[in-house]
Amino acid sequence: MKIIFLGAPGAGKGTQSKRLVREKHLLQISTGDILRENRDNQTELGLKAQTYMDAGELVPDHLIIKMIFDKMDDTSHVNGYILDGFPRTVAQAEALDDMLAKIHDKIDFVLYLKVANENLIERLSSRYTCKKCGHIYNLNFNPPKNEGKCDLDGGDLFQRRDDKKETVTKRIKIYDDNTRPVIRHYKAKNMVQTIDGYGGVDEIFAKILEAISS
């Protein structure tokens, strides 16, 4: 199963794709997670990407395309994968189409988690992540049992640098300008399953499973 997971920042892609990965034994390829790891380890890629990420801007296509293709090279041993956070521009989508056509492979479908822009700012600015396991909380509708600590492993929770209010508005605008056209790109190919991104985590996950089985 090869899936692309699209949705605005804060729509719940990360939470849902982590869950889908566990349930279906897939590999999650999250460009945001790979970039953050590179940034934290100060690799050459991390150093190049850091300024863009901190400003809430997109990292240039050529860096992302190379990074993701290197990662996808290594997927022969897995049951399938979820591309989470890629492609984010039409140029990235076209590069992916070309690469897959060359190796006679294809994406099965695109899941699009739909949430209106006016709800994203509030979701992003109350989002906290566990330092140890990456589990995501929302202080308003999915808070941890103990303040500042992960329910699963007691790890410290932190707020992503790009989830600060100033950066969030810019990220949503960048999403509208660059990533909405990607949704249209896949809609034109009849590949998109739209999921309503409102409700509890379990409820949304059930809708995703239903969409996959249909």
Q: Which residues are catalytic?
A: 13, 88, 127, 160, 171
User: Closer CB to ligand AMP, residue 30 or residue 208?
Assistant: 30
User: Closer CB to ligand AMP, residue 171 or residue 207?
Assistant: 171
| Candidate ranges 55-63, 103-111, 141-149, 181-189; the one touching ligand AMP (CB under 6 A) | 55-63
User: Does 35 interact with ligand AMP (rule: CB under 6 A)?
Assistant: yes
User: Does 109 interact with ligand AMP (rule: CB under 6 A)?
Assistant: no
CB 31 within 8 A of CB 13: no
How crowded is residue 91: how many other Cβ atoms within 10 Å of its Cβ? 16
User: Does 9 interact with ligand AMP (rule: CB under 6 A)?
Assistant: yes
Shortest separation between residue 171's beta carbon and ligand AMP, angstroms: 6
- Per-residue x/- mask for ligand AMP, residues 126 to 165, rule CB under 6 A? ------------------------------------x---
Pick from 11, 20, 59, 82: which binds ligand AMP (CB under 6 A)? 59
- Token code pair at residue 107: 């994406």
How crowded is residue 26: how many other Cβ atoms within 10 Å of its Cβ? 19
User: Does 86 interact with ligand AMP (rule: CB under 6 A)?
Assistant: yes
User: Does 67 interact with ligand AMP (rule: CB under 6 A)?
Assistant: no
| Candidate ranges 15-23, 54-62, 118-126, 196-204; the one touching ligand AMP (CB under 6 A) | 54-62
The site for ligand AMP (CB under 6 A) is made up of 9, 31-32, 35, 52-53, 56-59, 64, 85-86, 88, 92, 162, 171
